[in-house]
Structure 1
Amino acid sequence: MAKKKPCPLPPFAGTVVVDRDYGSNDQPATDFARSACGQIQPTDPKIFENALIAFCDASAVERASNRNARWCSCAVVWRMYGTTIWEQEGKPLYEFRENTNSELKGLVDLLLKAERLTATTTITTTITTTITTTSSSSSSSSTTTTTTTTTAAPAAAATPAAQIKSLFGFCDSKSVVEQFRDLGQPGSKWPPNLDKALLERAFTLAETPEKQRDVRVHLHWVRGHQGVEGNELADRVAAAHRPDVLNPLLYPTSWRHSGGARPTTTMTEQERIAKRERERENRRHGFTSDAANRRLSRLCRFGLLKRRMKWLKRREKVARVFGEEAEVGEKMRKVRDAWTLMERDEAEEVRALPLRLLPSVAPAPTVDEAVGENWVAEGEEEEEEEDDDDDDDEMSW
């Protein structure tokens, strides 16, 4: 196995937070993201002052031609804290084949958007105007070229984002955010499943806002599909920009994602409701895989008891000769008691079933009936018939 190469990247220029809380299903991280979206009041009202709030997400679906490949897309949504209108940007990722790098690409686009919104470069426009004048006295024309240079305002000054003091980026891919936290630390290695060029690009982009405008980048992990407004919007935008959504004929998907079920005969709503009711009844009365395993185990024990009783009935005749009939009788009594106890458990489970699920079977036999009362006699008759056949063979010889 090839050893992982050391990671030459410097530590991430911003703050990376992965707030896991298994006891509350990561509720602190969810509440922080909701407060950034304005859904709830933040614990510190000044933490999001003049902050740009951005969410990124990716979407992937299985391809019809290759179950190991995906049609991917990513999206970024952003707005200033305190405003109500989200800006959004999504793009299909035709060259990507799996979701992890798509999430990383979405995070790179988030940092790129932050860099553009906080840029301080000026735009210089050169306008060249050609003026043609005609002299009436000499009947000749002269051409004059005038060059006008206009310096525009900073790119960020045209938008409310000019007052950005901090960036809070949220991503629901824990594995990607953890790489941003761990890479650049002593002893860190390149992750095998992430694109190195994208990682280098992301680390470079995170340094730009702080260098140019002293904008601090805060990257947070948030659990997906928890009702966070920005995360849900980014998820919808990413799904809407997948190649299979933009052009289903050119980018077909597997039947698993073509509507949620294998293409078979469609069920009506009444049939679907009846099926759910049957499954609910079966679960309530123990008709599950565990119950089937328990029943199979009981059947195996019934078979063992039958074999034990057959052996004891064979031994009973010999036991009379050696005076051990009491011991054999005690063992047979224990077998009968065990058989009766198992039959009672079986009957109780059957009685617990609703009437429409009751099996139509005959009453369970006793262990003696199962073995057969004349089993020993039949065995002796078979042995006598075999002896007679041997005598006939000897006489014919």
Structure 2
Amino acid sequence: MENSTAIIEDALKDISLNPTGTTKDADDEDFIFNFDFDFDDDEFMGDPIPVRKFAGRVFFKKHREALNFANKYSNRRAEDGVQSMFTDGTASEPRLVQLAASQGEKTNKRWCACAVVYREHPDDEDWVKNGYTMLHIGESTNSELGGLAQCLALAHDLFANDHAVKKIMVFSDSGKMLSRLTKISPESPELPNWDHNLLSDVLAYADLLVNVYEKELELHWVPSHQGVEGNELADETALAYRPDKLWPELYRVNSNSNRRKKDTPQESKRDPVLTLVSKQNRDHGRAMRITKRPTGRMGSFDISRRSKVAGDDYRDGGRSGRRTPSYGSLHSHYPAHSYRSSYDSRSNYESRSRYESRSRNKSRSSYDSTPRLDY
């Protein structure tokens, strides 16, 4: 071991490097100096990469203000020393993921892609669109993080040495990612559960742009799907590069046909009845109908039309199980915009009959000229 150390020390004395990287004895072209060190890898792993703070600034504005600000830097404008870039990520749910989740298996594997779009010059009409398929990424947040990493990499490659660009603005609709990015610091070294390679790229490129090339770097939250051209183009580009869009036979996704639709008001065939199906009533297999009574006296056509509907509803005493609205009295002495809801049952039918009988007798003395129904 001592002989080997002595040989190495003698060789290092003879071969000192000048600033250009060539040996002093440059004329000796046959000279080859090569050491083959065989040490334990664990001894030369080095210190772990320190957790650094994001070098740029992150901005969150109110919805309307953020929308106007994003539109300003998405539209064509005069040269102002600002390079705006829009990024987005997308993720789809693969086939059978719901089945695995219902069986208690943890799965969040998705087909992901990201995109970066920008105008090369602020007054350019055309957009430069860059899409990236991410086969090794299976989470939505990581797809957004990948889009940010690709965006900062492009900004470094294209605009770092461009002296006309003083500030780089990156717009993303992932508020969750931007918010968490601001909390990364050496004081709190716990990293988020993201892809560490992508996170390392984001922090490294941001540090280069700000501290080495002296660019101002700003990240701005933009409301998604609100008509901002840059955000819409980034979303469309990312969607086009998703694996299930490029290779649908290999990367299948759910058709979404068997999923429950959200609770939305539905127009009934019997106008002006509006049917509202709430989740609770839907689970119990019942539908709640609310009727709105019109204002003013009703003509004979309206009364005959409603009497036919009411006759069908009341024919069997409400025992048929048909879920139909309760129209109440068919005359116009009820206040406008009054609402009443009920479920068909024997007791409700009897109470309605007594109520309408009293209302009918009252209407005969108040409105003698008003057409009436004969029950």
Partner residue in 1 for 2:175: 174
Q: Which amino acid aligns with 1:178?
A: S
* Counterparts of residues 116-127 of structure 1 (less than 5 Å): 116-120=157-161
Q: Which amino acid aligns with 1:251?
A: Y
Alpha carbons 1:182, 1:188 under 8 Å: kept: no
2:92 paired with 1:89: no
Residues 1:288 and 1:208: Cα distance change in structure 2 (over 3 Å): closer
- Give the whole-Å Cα distance in 1 for the aligned partners of 2:348 and 2:270: 28
Q: TM-score, normalised by structure 2?
A: 0.55
Partner residue in 1 for 2:93: 62
Deviation at 1:216, TM superposition (A): 1.2
Q: Which amino acid aligns with 2:56?
A: G
Residues 1:212 and 1:276: Cα distance change in structure 2 (over 3 Å): same
Deviation at 1:186, TM superposition (A): 3.7
Alpha carbons 2:267, 2:275 under 8 Å: kept: no
Please give the secondary structure, in 1, of the residue aligned with 2:182.
Answer: helix
2:72 paired with 1:35: yes
Deviation at 1:182, TM superposition (A): 1.7
- Give the whole-Å Cα distance in 2 for the aligned partners of 1:118 and 1:280: 63
2:43 paired with 1:12: no
Deviation at 1:58, TM superposition (A): 0.8
Q: Which amino acid aligns with 2:123?
A: G
- Give the whole-Å Cα distance in 2 for the aligned partners of 1:176 and 1:287: 36
Deviation at 1:187, TM superposition (A): 3.5
Partner residue in 1 for 2:113: 73
Deviations 1:250-300 (A, max 9, x none): 1111122xxxx249xxxxxxxxxxx9533896972566567789999xxxx
Residues 1:353 and 1:288: Cα distance change in structure 2 (over 3 Å): farther
Residues 1:364 and 1:113: Cα distance change in structure 2 (over 3 Å): closer
Identical amino acids, percent of aligned pairs: 30
- Give the whole-Å Cα distance in 2 for the aligned partners of 1:358 and 1:245: 47
Residues 1:281 and 1:90: Cα distance change in structure 2 (over 3 Å): farther
More helix by share: 1
* Structure 2 alignment gaps of length 5 or more: 1-48, 99-107, 260-264, 287-324, 331-341, 352-375
- Give the whole-Å Cα distance in 2 for the aligned partners of 1:28 and 1:15: 18
Partner residue in 1 for 2:190: 189
Partner residue in 1 for 2:326: 350
Q: CA RMSD in A?
A: 3.8
- Give the whole-Å Cα distance in 2 for the aligned partners of 1:352 and 1:242: 56
* Counterparts of residues 127-166 of structure 1 (less than 5 Å): 163-166=164-167
Deviation at 1:211, TM superposition (A): 4.0
- Give the whole-Å Cα distance in 1 for the aligned partners of 2:158 and 2:178: 22
Alpha carbons 1:8, 1:184 under 8 Å: kept: no
Deviations 1:160-183 (A, max 9, x none): x56211100011111111122221
Higher relative contact order (CA 8 A, sep 6+): 1
- Give the whole-Å Cα distance in 2 for the aligned partners of 1:98 and 1:351: 52
Partner residue in 1 for 2:207: 207
* Counterparts of residues 218-257 of structure 1 (less than 5 Å): 218-256=218-256
Please give the secondary structure, in 2, of the residue aligned with 1:350.
Answer: coil
Q: TM-score, normalised by structure 1?
A: 0.52
Please give the secondary structure, in 2, of the residue aligned with 1:97.
Answer: coil
Q: Which amino acid aligns with 1:200?
A: S
* Structure 1 alignment gaps of length 5 or more: 1-6, 121-160, 264-274, 297-348, 367-397
Please give the secondary structure, in 2, of the residue aligned with 1:255.
Answer: coil
2:268 paired with 1:278: yes
Deviations 1:303-333 (A, max 9, x none): xxxxxxxxxxxxxxxxxxxxxxxxxxxxxxx
Deviation at 1:88, TM superposition (A): 1.0
Please give the secondary structure, in 2, of the residue aligned with 1:182.
Answer: coil
